[in-house]
Amino acid sequence: MAAHLKKRVYEEFTKVVQQQHEDLSTKKLRLTKPSKSAALHVDLCKATSPADALQYLLQFARKPVEVESVEGVVRILLEHYYKENDASVRLKIASLLGLLSKTAGFSPDCIMDDAINTLQNEKSHQVLAQLLDTLLVIGTKLPENPSVRMRLVEVACKHLTDSSHGVRNKCLQLIGCLGPVEKGVAKEAESQAAKDVQKIIGDHFNDQDPRVRTAAIKAMLQLHERGLKLQQAIYSQACKLLADDYEQVRSAAVQLIWVLSQLYPESIVPIPSSNEEIRLVDDAFGKICHMVSDGSWVVRVQAAKLLGSMQQVSSHFLEQTLDKKLMSDLRRKRTAHERAKELYSSGEFSSGRKWGDDAPKEEIDTGAVNLIESGACGAFVHGLEDEMYEVRIAAVEALCMLAQSSPSFAEKCLDFLVDMFNDEIEEVRLQSIHTMRKISNNITLREDQLDTVLAVLEDSSRDIREALHELLCCTNVSTKEGIHLALVELLKNLTKYPTDRESIWKCLKFLGSRHPTLVLPLVPELLSTHPFFDTPEPDMDDPAYIAVLVLIFNAAKSCPTMPALFSDHTFRHYAYLRDSLSHLVPPLRLPGRKLVSSAVSPSITPHEDPSQQFLHQSLERVYNFQHLDPQGIQELLEFTIRDLQRLGELQSELAGMADFTATYLQCQLLLIKALQEKLWNVAAPLYLKQNALASAAAKQILEETYKMEFMYSGVESRQVVIIHHMRLQAKALQLIVTARTTRGVEPLFGMCEKFLQEVDSFQRCFISELPHMQGSFVDKLLDLMPRLVTSKPSEVVKILQTTLRQSTFLHLPLPEQLHRATANIIEPTGESDNPLRFTSGLVVALDVDATLEHVQDPQGTVKVQVLYPDGQAQLIHPKPADFRNPGPGRHRLITQVYLSHTAWTEPCQIEVRLLLAYSSNRSKASTRIPKSTWSESLEALPPSENGIEGTIPFSKPVKVYIMPKPARR
């Protein structure tokens, strides 16, 4: 029977191959195509031993196969499959079948029957598993074909009884990925297969092999992900799996329980060994909490992570997670947290100097002590003390998420979070500080907690300190002593790490504005004023004094009685600081002083903001310039650009908008200048000057348009059109200039064609926007398009010239929010006179620290450029891990740049700056071309032809003094 079948299939497919050959050779004259499968065929026939055949197959797998020849190759492979006796070769063929059916554009339903047939006669378990894998690939490639899926699922069900775990594994995976999800289909299936997928998978929850058990749970989760509602009955099964011997089973089971708890949070489950009942989500919470003290850290991480997302759990259970009863010799003992709290409430400061301060107090009933926690008890206490930092981080994250949704829990977990500030791993410390910041709305810090928090300010890691400053920005402090303590510690921090200046001032600004009433009683002490005597005036440039003033002025903003306590010089200092550090010092209404600028009533909304109005008005004026003479237009543009630039400097929130429009107007100005008629009419020999001017203008416009497109965040498609339009105009200008300077027509043909192509692609990309562009350059150009295509280059140039001149200036609509990408290099400062010495030929690492604002995807775009005095430039791509994201729209780059050079005779300066890389096809084609899965060795795709890559410098260059010394011999 088997032999017959084999023969039949064999005959069948040989026929097909022949047809294939004919087909291809008649259709197309590309001889490489059929030779692909033919070569494989020849190779495989040549192979004498299985090892040889395997080698050929491996070689074959390295090269991709075109869509048209896939089927032919599959037939060849199948032929050899039937002939082959060696299991390893069959295995490779099976895996190749899977890879081939993944080929994009190939529909694998034609090979499905063959693949299923091969399954029936296969004896080797490994090959069987591989074939099932191939079927899985085929099934996933045919998503909208339920009958195929049903058939595959049936095949898989048949093989579920196989004795090899690999085969059962794959079967379950297949069922999970392809099993019917919709109810209707399931009904139909019942008539056919009479089986319920969930039940089939559920039966394998207690398979004898742990790998199969894991696969079964994973398949169940896969079904859930595909939208099938899992039955609640699985819950009890899953609970049993939590006690499995194997960690991967437990890990998957924890996930399954979590999924079920999200599906049926409110259903009631009985507690075994008692007749009480609780909500399912509470029960699941307890069970997952129990897994936080599992033996395997993988499971612990998994459990701790999932806890965070179980927000429906009742508060009673939630609070148990922080529960820990201490005892010593069977007597109850208070935890350090409780002691601290008591000391605080009794108004005493912690002495902490007594032995037996923590002496155990009352006796406890031996029966009442629960040593092994049932359910949620102490889960976080365990998780936060775990030996693996992965578990601790996961626990902190979970704590954060739960605390955000429950204020009372937030209050309770505070002590534990504060403790985590002293973890031995920096990542954990940082994470817990961030967590605390996120929940700070719900909490008020006690003094002793604040004390611990502030102790971390001395940490030598900048990240930690800055995170802590951010935390202090949004903390609530309960007492005036607390504020004082915070100020003192911050000032200590300032003297120890002067580079933290900005961050500390900012922190104090918020601290002051949040706690005006607590600052008020401290003012005389802080300003060291005396009721009778005048005190010496403090140094105005002292950062510590500025810090104190920032705190006080911000508090005074909402506390009108405070200025009465100021002495004369304080007012003077206020005026100075208000000017020099306007972002830190708020406008104050001071008695007896007229500060008109500060009298802006806060009720004005940004819409009525005069500066915004000014921006719009000046733009209006520009757009209506048609009636002016050329000279007038130029002047108007120049003035407007100047105004806008100044506006950008004054109003930081409008800077992006103002710069953006100013750049646009600048482009327009350049275009107008370049096209001035009288210059174009001069005789040929005098072209030179004009040409230089025009080509320079064209070049600059191109650069500016790239800046406009890529340097601003919030640019919408409406703006992109205008920008591209401007670029098109610049290119037209370039073409005209070249036409006038080059002799002969030959090179012009190419250029014209290219330009027309660009016009064409512009039309294709922005077809929807064209109606808005009446009377514009491109609009006119498109009207003339049929003529342009047929005419000679010289005519084209002429047409272009007139169209350019006649076209109207397009109105640039402004988006809601527009921000310019900026970068500021903090380190190196460029002030050092000591050259960085290193031996030539070796490398020296230069620390670069920069803040980036409004940069999208900095990991991909921001580069560091190093310019050596000899003109040599070096471009460095920082690692993705070097970018941190402290807040929305802000990034921080902390990286090391490696410098090297041959020996110099004396120290010299190099320039370091940041660049923003762009490529013009990135903006349009946001969907990246998916990587070919066919083989890893496939070379990277060549960049598409019309993609223009470039960089824009967007930070001030910083000079670094270096000195490569000659190597000593």
Partner 1 sequence: RRFPDFSYITQNGRLTDFLDCVIISHFHLDHCGALPYFSEMVGYDGPIYMTHPTKAICPILLEDYRKITVDKKGETNFFTSQMIKDCMKKVVAVHLHQTVQVDEELEIKAYYAGHVLGAAMFQIKVGCESVVYTGDYNMTPDRHLGAAWIDKCRPDLLISESTYATTIRDSKRCRERDFLKKVHETVERGGKVLIPVFALGRAQELCILLETFWERMNLKAPIYFSTGLTEKANHYYKLFITWTNQKIRKTFVQRNMFEFKHIKAFDRAFADNPGPMVVFATPGMLHAGQSLQIFRKWAGNEKNMVIMPGYCVQGTVGHKILSGQRKLEMEGRQILEVKMQVEYMSFSAHADAKGIMQLIRQAEPRNVLLVHGEAKKMEFLKQKIEQEFHVSCFMPANGETTTILTNPCIPVDISLGLLKRETAIGPLPDAKKPKLMHGTLLMKDNSFRLVSPEQALKELGLAEHQLRFTCRVHIQDPRKEHETVLRVYNHLKGILKDYSVQHLPDGSITVESILIQATAHSEDQGTKVLLVSWTYQDEELGSYLTSLLKKGLPQST
Residues that bind partner 1 (CB under 8 A): 161, 206-210, 213, 245, 293, 295, 324-330, 333, 335-337, 352-353, 355-356, 358, 366, 369, 371-372, 381, 384-389, 419-420, 422-425, 452, 455, 458-461, 496
Torsion of the alpha carbons at 792, 798, 804 and 806, rounded to the nearest 10: -120
CB of 386 to partner 1, least distance (A): 8
Q: How far is the CB of 303 from partner 1 (least distance, A)?
A: 15
In the complex, minimum distance from the CB of residue 214 to partner 1, in angstroms, rounded to a whole number: 12
* Residue whose CB is less far from partner 1, 219 or 556: 219
Q: Is 955 helix (H, G, I), strand (E, B) or coil?
A: strand
On whether the CB atoms of residues 181 and 227 are closer than 8 A, the answer is: yes
Q: Tell me whether residue 57 or residue 254 sits nearer to partner 1 (CB atom).
A: 254
The nearest distance, CB 409 to partner 1, in angstroms, is 18
Q: CB of residue 398 vs partner 1: minimum separation in angstroms?
A: 17
CA-to-CA distance for 282 and 262, rounded, in angstroms?
Answer: 11
- Per DSSP bridges, beta strands 958-965 and 836-839 are parallel
Asked whether the beta carbons of 507 and 584 are under 8 A apart, the reply is no
DSSP helix/strand/coil, 608: helix
- Least distance from partner 1 to the Cβ atom of residue 552, Å: 27
266 vs 329 by CB, closer to partner 1:
329
Q: Please give, one letter per residue, the 3-state secondary structure of 433-498.
A: HHHHHHCHHHCCECHHHHHHHHHHHHCCCHHHHHHHHHHHHCCCECCHHHHHHHHHHHHHHHHHCH
C-beta of 464: minimal distance to partner 1 in Å?
8
| Closer residue to partner 1 (CB): 423 or 709 | 423
Angle ∠(65,107,36) on CA atoms, nearest 5? 20
| Cα 583 to Cα 585: distance, rounded to the nearest angstrom | 6
Which of residues 386 and 466 has its CB atom nearest to partner 1 in the complex?
386
Compute and round to an integer the Cα radius of gyration of the chain: 37
Question: Whole-number minimum distance, CB 278 to partner 1, in Å?
Answer: 21
CB of 310 to partner 1, least distance (A): 23
- Whether residue 456 contacts residue 423, with contact meaning beta carbons closer than 8 Å, is answered with no
State the nearest-atom distance from the C-beta of 965 to partner 1, in Å: 27
**CA–CA separation, 949 and 942 (whole Å):** 13
CA nearest to 431, candidates 461, 406, 397: 397
Closer by beta carbon to partner 1, 365 or else 525: 365
Closest to partner 1 by CB, 351 or 902: 351
Phi, psi of 327 (to 5 degrees): -150, 160
Kindly tell me the burial class for residue 569, based on how many C-beta atoms sit within 10 Å of its own C-beta (0-12, 13-18, 19 or more): middle
Query: If we measure between CA atoms, which residue out of 664, 787, 775 comes closest to residue 724?
Result: 664
Q: What phi and psi values does residue 611 have, to the nearest 5 degrees?
A: -70, -35
Helix (H) or strand (E) holding 894: strand 890-899
Residue closest to 309 by CA, chosen among 380, 246, 401, 385: 401
Amino acid sitting at position 501: R
Give the nearer residue to partner 1 in terms of CB position, either 340 or 674: 340
Closer of 241 and 527 to partner 1 (Cβ): 241
Q: Are 179 and 223 in contact (CB under 8 A)?
A: yes
297 vs 625, which CB is nearer to partner 1?
Answer: 297
Nearer to partner 1, 206 or 806 (CB): 206
For partner 1, which is the closer residue by CB, 452 or 923? 452
Q: Reduced to 3 states, what is the DSSP secondary structure of residue 373?
A: coil
Distance CA 706, CA 712 (A): 10
Instruction: Enumerate residues 6+ apart whose C-beta is below 8 A from 501.
Output: 494, 543
